[in-house]
Amino acid sequence: MSHLLAHPRAAIAALLLMPSLAAAQQIPLQDKPFAEHKIVLQLSDNDPKKQGLVISVANNLMKYYDPDKVAIEVVAFGPGIDLLKPDNPNRKAVESIVAQGVRVDICLNTVDTIERDTGKRPEFLSVATPVQVGVAQILHLTENGYTLVKP
């Protein structure tokens, strides 16, 4: 800690990052107490057809079930986070499913890796919920009654 005091900007930056990292590590389950159906959709590649399929599956589930009776979470990690970039052609569709109650998670490990490899932190949609480890989020959800679907 004394070395941080020698560099006040580093100390302030470290303190500012702490709450966001803690918040990203444990994401609570969706606030849908009456959900009878819980689905997690995995997106781990940047194939536009798979991106479209994930959005389509989420939309179809929201139409088929009463939105209060279904909890849907999309977890994007690895190349799958391309869906959540601001210039993705599916941006409006992603924002639409989030507006309907679907939660869309982005893996911060992937974001950090891209930043390390390229020297630039990638931008992503503000509607995305940051989770520290995408696969851990999927595990957390499946351990809590969600069914994993990999379109």
> Around 133, how many Cα atoms within 13 Å sit in the side-chain half-sphere?
7
pTM beyond 0.85, yes or no? no
| 22 three-class SS | helix
pLDDT at site 131? 97
Residues 6+ away with beta carbon under 8 Å from 25: 132
pLDDT at site 68? 87
User: Cβ-count burial of 143 within 10 angstroms (0-12 exposed, 13-18 middle, 19+ buried)?
Assistant: exposed
pLDDT at site 28? 63
pLDDT at site 119? 97
In the chain, which residues have pLDDT < 50? 1-25
The length of the chain, given as a count of residues? 151
pLDDT at site 73? 97
| Contact status, residue 105 vs residue 73, Cβ threshold 8 Å | yes
pLDDT at site 3? 46
pLDDT at site 27? 61
- Cα(27)–Cα(85) distance, rounded to whole angstroms? 21
Domain annotation for the chain: domains and CATH numbers = 35-149 (3.40.1260.10)
Helices assigned H by DSSP within 7-147: 8-25, 48-64, 91-99, 108-118, 134-143
| Contact status, residue 103 vs residue 140, Cβ threshold 8 Å | no
